[in-house]
Amino acid sequence: MRTFIENLQESRIREVANAGMGRGDVLAFWFGESDEVTPEFIRQAAIDSLHRGETFYAHNLGLPPLRDAIATYMSALHGPIGSERIAVTSGGVSALMLAVQALVDAGDEVVAVTPVWPNLTAQPAIMGATVRCVSLKPVDGAWTLDMPALLDAITPGTRLLVVNAPNNPTGWTLTRDEQALILAHCRKTGTWILADEVYERLYFEPNGACAPSFLDVA
């Protein structure tokens, strides 16, 4: 096994989960999932699909009706997005790893805004990239991005920028103006942007259906 893989830091989330699983006196909030069972109509839909024999290989990018539904949902939030731009994966970790595998080679430089879910920095490192972190800082009780520091870190040698906003664990969220500034800079340097916006609906500004997205400015 590669030395780097052997030396990867184990997930603290998994460590907590392993300690708490099976205990009735602990609420299972470690994986960021609800403590409620999946709704009955969703479970029944899965059962019905099995009974219909829908157990064979599907399209690589996902079932067309599902991709159409996702495209319709995303278009309502961000303007027209065709289903040809949608890929369905087995989960968020798989989607992010596929993106990193498509973009990052050994020896590449990756910049990440931190603190962040550890998988987002571990994945490019697994691919052999050098990961440089630009940390959010608390200012007047709010997490704040040092934009000049971030832009200075992103150079023509930077292959990929990883940014998670709304952010886990801080709740920090990029503004639309900040996204436009980052996008313009990355276009100048030739840097890809991997924007993890999975929490975009956890956004509570007035009249905000969702958080600002790079989809809106790109």
CATH number at residue 212: 3.40.640.10
My answer on whether 64 and 47 are in the same domain is no
My answer on whether 35 and 6 are in the same domain is yes
pLDDT higher than 80, residue 33: no
Lowest mean pLDDT among 74-78, 190-194, 208-212: 208-212
My answer on whether 79 and 67 are in the same domain is yes
- Looking at 71, 88, 105, the residue that finishes a domain is 88
Amino acid making up residue 31: F
Mean pLDDT of the 150-175 span: 97
Mean pLDDT of the 69-76 span: 97
- Looking at 45, 68, 88, the residue that finishes a domain is 88
My answer on whether 84 and 178 are in the same domain is no
My answer on whether 16 and 50 are in the same domain is yes
My answer on whether 118 and 132 are in the same domain is yes
My answer on whether 110 and 81 are in the same domain is no
Q: What's the mean per-residue pLDDT of the chain?
A: 93
My answer on whether 70 and 116 are in the same domain is no
**26 pLDDT band (50/70/90 cuts)?**
confident
Mean pLDDT of the 129-134 span: 97
SS3 label, residue 97: helix
For residue 121, what are the domain limits? 91-217
pLDDT higher than 80, residue 39: yes
| pLDDT for 34 | 77
| pLDDT for 3 | 84
| pLDDT for 197 | 96
pLDDT higher than 80, residue 83: yes
| pLDDT for 89 | 95
Going by their DSSP bridges, the two strands 109-114 and 130-135 should be labelled as parallel
Mean pLDDT of the 30-50 span: 90
Please give the C-alpha separations between residue 35 and each of 20, 26, 27, 149, in angstroms, as whole numbers.
Answer: 14, 11, 8, 40
My answer on whether 139 and 169 are in the same domain is yes
Residue 173 contacts residue 136 (beta carbons within 8 Å): no
Each residue of 170-198: pLDDT tens digit? Answer: 999 999 999 999 999 999 999 999 999 99
Q: Which of 26, 6, 7, 8 is nearest to 17 (CA)?
A: 26
pLDDT higher than 90, residue 206: no
Q: Which of 40, 37, 101, 90 is nearest to 62 (CA)?
A: 90
My answer on whether 6 and 113 are in the same domain is no
My answer on whether 73 and 139 are in the same domain is no
My answer on whether 197 and 175 are in the same domain is yes
Domains held by the chain: number? 3
